[in-house]
Amino acid sequence: AEGFLVDKIVDQTGSKGTGKWTVQQAADLGVAAPTITASLDGRYMSSNKPERVAAAEVFSKLGLQQPTTVPGVSKEQLVADVSAALYASKICSYAQGLNIIKAKSEEQKWGIDLGGLARIWK
């Protein structure tokens, strides 16, 4: 297969419902899960491709273009910053997920060993 990988990526996501269930559980339990919620919001926005295409056309007609660079930031620095942000978001997601599991375990008296869970949960 030739060409760039980015050209083979489908510009739209689907959903199995697990993110929605996770966010619902967090809300029901009163546990903050902002990173997980933002991920779900991103999935919803991505799945609405016709609306994104229409918005891009409106912006284009207004002479507004999507920036391809960040003024004063090198490509290498941008890649490093995005990589660090992704790593931080993974840590936050794990912490939020464990907080949801902890709250549900306490509610249901399951006695889940969070340390043991963290060791096997990747």
**CATH code of residue 18:** 1.10.1040.10
Tokens 């912490």 sit on residue: 95
How many domains does the structure of the chain reveal? 1
Instruction: Count CB-CB contacts under 10 A for residue 96.
Output: 19
Question: What are the tens digits of pLDDT across the range 74-83?
Answer: 989 999 999 9
Give the C-alpha separation, 27 to 30, whole Å: 5
pLDDT tens digit at each of 122 positions of the chain: 577 766 666 666 666 788 999 999 999 999 999 999 999 999 888 888 899 889 889 988 998 877 777 889 898 999 999 999 999 999 999 999 999 999 999 999 999 999 999 999 87
pLDDT for 99 equals 98
Question: How many angstroms separate the CA atoms of 33 and 102, rounded?
Answer: 13
Whole-number Cα distances in Å, 88 to 74, 92, 99, 112, 119 = 21, 6, 17, 25, 18
Q: What are phi and psi of 51, to 5 degrees?
A: -70, -40
Residue type at 7 in one-letter notation: D
> Which amino acid, one-letter code, is at 109?
K
CA distance 51 to 39: 19
pTM of the complete model: 0.78
Helices (H), the chain: 18-29, 34-47, 49-61, 75-108, 114-120
* Averaged pLDDT of the chain: 89
Domain hosting residue 87, numbered range = 5-120
